[in-house]
Amino acid sequence: MRGEENLLYRRFDHLPEGLLETEADGLADLLGGPALIHLPGRRERPLFVSVLLHGNEWTGYDALRHLLRRYDGGRDLPRALSIFIGNVSAARRRLRRLEGQPDYNRVWPGGKAPEGPEGRMTAAVVEEMAARRVFASIDIHNNTGLNPHYACVNRLDDRFFHLARLFSRTVVYFTRPRGVQSMAFARLCPAVTVECGQSGQPHGEAHAMEFVEAALHLSEHPLHAVPEHDIDLYHTVAAVRVPDGLRFGFGDCDADLCFEPDLDRLNFRELRPGTLIGRLLHGDRLPLIVQDNEGREVRDDYFVLEEGEILTARSLMPSMLTLDERVIRQDCLGYLMERYPIHLSRAPFVV
């Protein structure tokens, strides 16, 4: 059953027939492409939830299917719900994105959207949700490495913190990369991204489902300050990438650069100076690309090469370090963070 088409995405004002029974890899056949689904609820202003912006991150979609089954017998949703289902063609192959595709979480308004249908599609989704006076936005993701469940915000505002705190006390504030969904929606409403661990983990799915249901039951956004002891706030300060053409691997490998075999176990850990990251087998220059939020190269501020070993040059905390070579090539190796005192973040939110 198809909904209205605008050549960019399919629009439904009901739950498409068969959706609750369809796995993520079958959505391309069922929907024919990205879809925006509007469902009514007792409160009119909708909660917006985006899933499958990366085709290998199924948790959000599965969480929504299980949540909607609870209301499939005629029960009203507590609040209207708008669901955006993204890269279904990549989901068919369980890939982050297909070769030649842009990253569906880098093409939203506010970034350098590519000339093409994806940038026009996301702009149309934002415009449509603005007209519906969207109440809050949740973008659900997974990691390929080992990470705790955490929430991300792009504005330092207590309404954003309260929404994020419904998911986790661990909250990451970031302003790069541009073009992400949560940043586009942050100008309309409190918006968060939630990271639910690795795909296929039942507790990640359950956690995401509980969070969306809690957000659906919100009648308004709290205005009071989040107590400092209720939140662990971090700020992303740099992204770490591997240069194109450099051969790399993990553990004992036959490559130019061999990272530690359990590199992703360093995520969300306070690392001391001198922590081993990997070994350079060929060459005498530190090969990593490390850029701060202004795009400046800051590699030497964070890492040092000593006798072929790549070590941390200062105390730091990484996140989203991954062992997945395809993800590293398509995106990055991971991010570097620092703690951010919440009392420095107080700023009013203006719609």
Determine the Cα–Cα distance for residues 125 and 71; give it in Å rounded to an integer. Answer: 25
Give the three-class secondary structure for 58: coil
Determine the Cα–Cα distance for residues 349 and 351; give it in Å rounded to an integer. Answer: 7
Indicate whether 343 belongs to any domain. Answer: no
148 plus 284 within the same structural domain: no
What is the pLDDT, as a whole number, of residue 17? 96
What is the pLDDT, as a whole number, of residue 5? 53
Give the three-class secondary structure for 105: coil
Indicate whether 347 belongs to any domain. Answer: no
Determine the Cα–Cα distance for residues 183 and 89; give it in Å rounded to an integer. Answer: 24
Indicate whether 350 belongs to any domain. Answer: no
Determine the Cα–Cα distance for residues 49 and 212; give it in Å rounded to an integer. Answer: 8
Give the three-class secondary structure for 309: strand
Question: What is the Rg, in whole angstroms, of the alpha carbon atoms belonging to the chain?
Answer: 21
Handedness of CA 82, 88, 93, 98 (dihedral sign): negative
Q: In what order do the strands lie in the sheet with 248-250?
A: 248-250, 257-259, 276-280, 309-312, 303-306
305 plus 158 within the same structural domain: no
Place of tokens 């009648």: 219
214 plus 107 within the same structural domain: yes
Domain edge (last residue) among 226, 245, 273: 226
36 plus 159 within the same structural domain: yes
Q: Would you state the structure tokens that stand for residue 225, as one six-digit string? A: 């300050």
What is the pLDDT, as a whole number, of residue 2? 45
Q: What are phi and psi of 93, to 5 degrees?
A: -110, 10
DSSP 229: G
Q: What are phi and psi of 15, to 5 degrees?
A: -75, 120
Domain edge (last residue) among 179, 201, 226: 226
199 plus 244 within the same structural domain: no
Which among 247, 248, 251 has a CA at the least distance from the CA of 263? Answer: 251
Handedness of CA 323, 282, 280, 242 (dihedral sign): negative
User: In terms of residue numbers, what domain contains 61?
Assistant: 4-226
20 plus 156 within the same structural domain: yes
The β-bridge relationship of strands 150-153 and 77-85 is: unpaired
Could you read off the pLDDT tens digit of each residue along the chain, which spans 351 residues? 445 556 689 999 999 999 999 999 999 999 999 999 999 999 999 999 999 999 999 999 999 999 999 998 779 999 999 999 999 999 999 999 999 999 999 999 998 755 689 999 999 999 999 999 999 999 999 999 999 999 999 999 999 999 999 999 999 999 999 999 999 999 999 999 999 999 999 999 999 999 999 999 999 999 899 998 899 999 999 999 999 999 999 999 999 999 999 999 999 999 999 999 999 998 889 999 999 999 999 999 999 999 999 999 999 999 999 999 999 999 999 999 999 987 665 544 443
86 close to 57: Cβ distance less than 8 angstroms: no
255 plus 194 within the same structural domain: no
CA atoms within 13 A on the CB side of 81: 25
Indicate whether 348 belongs to any domain. Answer: no
Burial class (CB in 10 A: 0-12, 13-18, 19+), 63: buried
What is the pLDDT, as a whole number, of residue 241? 98
Count of residues making up the chain: 351
Which CATH number characterizes residue 16's domain? 3.40.630.10
212 plus 249 within the same structural domain: no
Handedness of CA 59, 48, 121, 2 (dihedral sign): positive
273 plus 217 within the same structural domain: no
DSSP 200: T
Give the three-class secondary structure for 3: coil
211 plus 242 within the same structural domain: no
- The total number of structural domains that make up the chain: 2
What pTM does this model have? 0.93
Determine the Cα–Cα distance for residues 205 and 63; give it in Å rounded to an integer. Answer: 5
Indicate whether 317 belongs to any domain. Answer: yes
Helices (H), 82-116: 88-92
Give 279's strand partners: 258, 309
Indicate whether 232 belongs to any domain. Answer: no
148 plus 274 within the same structural domain: no
269 plus 317 within the same structural domain: yes
Domain edge (last residue) among 226, 260, 293: 226
Indicate whether 231 belongs to any domain. Answer: no
Indicate whether 344 belongs to any domain. Answer: no
